Each structure stands twice: as C-alpha cells, then as structure tokens.
Copies of this chain bind each other. A is one copy, B any other.
Amino acid sequence: MARALEANELRVDGLIRDLGTFHGKMLRPALVLLVARALGGITDLHTRLGAALEMIHTATLIHDDLIDDADVRRNQPTAHVRFGNTTSVLLGDYFYTHAFTLVAGLKLPDVTLRLVETTNVLCRGELQQQCVERHTALSEAEYEHIIYGKTACLTELAAEFGAAGSSDELRKAAATYGLACGMAFQIVDDCLDFSGDPDKVGKSLSTDIERGRMTLPILRLLSGASPAERTLHERRLTAPTGPDDVAAFREAVIASGALASALKTAKDHVRRAQEALTAFPAGTARDQLQVLAEFIVARDF
C-alpha cells in the first residue's frame, strides 16, 4: 500500500505518504492473504488486491472520522484533526480512486466490477446508517442490512478475492467466511463502544450513544425493556440532557444484559464463519483462519 501511494506530485506528497503508512489491524489484507494461502498460494494479484482493500478501508475511515468528529484513531490524531476537514474530504476521495486505479490496471474486468460495486454498497451502508440515527424503531433486520453494507460486504469481498482462481464451491465458502467475520467484527466494534478501554481500542468511545447510532447493544436494550423503561431509554437516546444521561444509558446497556446478548450474536457469526471453513483443505492456513475468526470476538481493541 505504501508503495502504491508513493507520489511525486505538486504539494500533496507528504499528505499521501503519511496516511499510506498509517497501519491498523489490516484485517482485510489478512483475509485476502490467509484465504489465498489456504487455497493454493499467494500471488502478486492477492497482494495488490489486499493493498487496494486496505486503501478503500482507509478512505472510509478518513470520511467516517470527519463525520463523527472523532479525534483519535489508531492511537493517533485523525486526518481531519491533522489536516483539516476540507483536506480530509478530498484525501478520502483520493484514496478511493487510487485503490480503483490500482485494481483497474490489472485489466481483470470481473475483479474491478466486484470492487467498485462493493464499494458502492459500502457507501450506501454508510449513508443508511446516517439516515437512521435516533430511529429507535429500527429493526434488527435493518441493522444487519446496514452493517453488511458498512463492514461485512468488504470483508466478504476480501475473502472472495483470496479465493480467486479456486472452484465455485471454495469461492462461496470463502465469501461466507468473510461475510460472517465482518458481521462479527462490526457487532464487536459496536460492543467495544460500551465496554472498551479507549487506550487499547485506539479511538474515542461512547460516541454511538451520543450520536444516537442504533447499534445492536442498543436495539437489544430497547427490545428487552418494559414500556416504561423503554420510554426513558428512548428519551435519553434521542434527547439527552447531558453527560449523566449518556452515562445512565451506558450503564443500562451493560446491566440489562443487552451487551452480553449482542456479543453472543457476534459469537454465532464466528461459529458460522468457522463452519464455512470446513470446505477448505486442512492445514496451517485454515487453522490460522479459525484463529482469526476467534480473535475477532476475543479482541479488546
């Protein structure tokens, strides 16, 4: 990724190089490369696709952090804090289109189409998430649809890209694995917003309550509450009067068991991911994919 982003261009070099070396968990490249290793070996194609996916993920983070007004990501000041809002909008656009250029240069039309159409679904998921903020009547099916868009469609594609060249059955198994990992990952992320340690997670927390973002722990709290409790929770979520409301809401999510219930759903997705791997040939790489799926729910960052 850093190599692909080497620029020799008027005034923007530093900006781009800086973010190109800005590592996170690298989940999407890990999915591409581990699936490839499990199914026959890593080629230059896989490396390039992994870099492109991480670049797209970075683009979404740049725009997300700007939108959420988040100050810290990966334990560093976010792009909009460092470079300003304006530059962040354009830098995100630059990263998206750079990733597409990297892949379109392979001249594999099906691969390029899958990448751009998936990124379009991703952008739509982000938009939908914005559109349902503070919509306390959101259903779990709608929540799943949204997190498929904002997270799981890209991890699904990452695993599918890892299986490029394999049989239809293996490609389908890989996609199922990637999708389930993505769903689990996003639900855990939504849980960490309540239970995480900001230093370990590397970003600002409790932002979902403040923004009225309808994540699974919140939906589970609302669906399990008595009518009177629900009215109170909804008031705290849609019209908080101050930090006490946010703290009380957070406590209720934990004390009610809603957080544990959401985490259990994440574990169900992990089990589904691991089941899909039974179609893969046994070996070290498959074992690593099993561990990767475990890690998604076990992580505290």
- Which residues of A are at the interface with B, using a C-beta cutoff of 8 A? 9-12, 15, 63, 66-67, 85-87, 89-94, 96-98, 100-101, 104-105, 107-110, 112-113, 116-117, 119-120, 122-124, 126-128, 130-132, 142, 145-146
Known contacts A104-B113, A109-B107, A109-B108: A87-B120 contact under CB 8 Å: no
Q: How far is the CA of A232 from the CA of B126 in the complex (A)?
A: 47
Across the A-B interface, give the 8 residue pairs with the lowest CB-CB distance, nearest first: A97-B120, A100-B116, A107-B109, A11-B131, A104-B113, A93-B123, A94-B123, A90-B127
A122: nearest chain-B partner, CB-CB: B97
Chain B residues contacting A98 (CB-CB under 8 Å) are: 120
Chain B residues contacting A120 (CB-CB under 8 Å) are: 94, 97-98, 100-101
Q: How far is the CA of A124 from the CA of B264 in the complex (A)?
A: 44
Checking B87, B97, B101 against A96 with a beta-carbon cut-off of 8 angstroms, the contacting residue is: B97
Contact B104 A107 (CB under 8 A): no
Which of A66, A97, A120, A130 counts the most B-chain CB atoms under 10 A from its CB? A97
Chain B residues contacting A63 (CB-CB under 8 Å) are: 89-90, 93
Known contacts A89-B66, A94-B120: A15-B131 contact under CB 8 Å: yes
Contact A87 B130 (CB under 8 A): yes
Q: How far is the CA of A112 from the CA of B107 in the complex (A)?
A: 9
Q: How far is the CA of A116 from the CA of B94 in the complex (A)?
A: 11
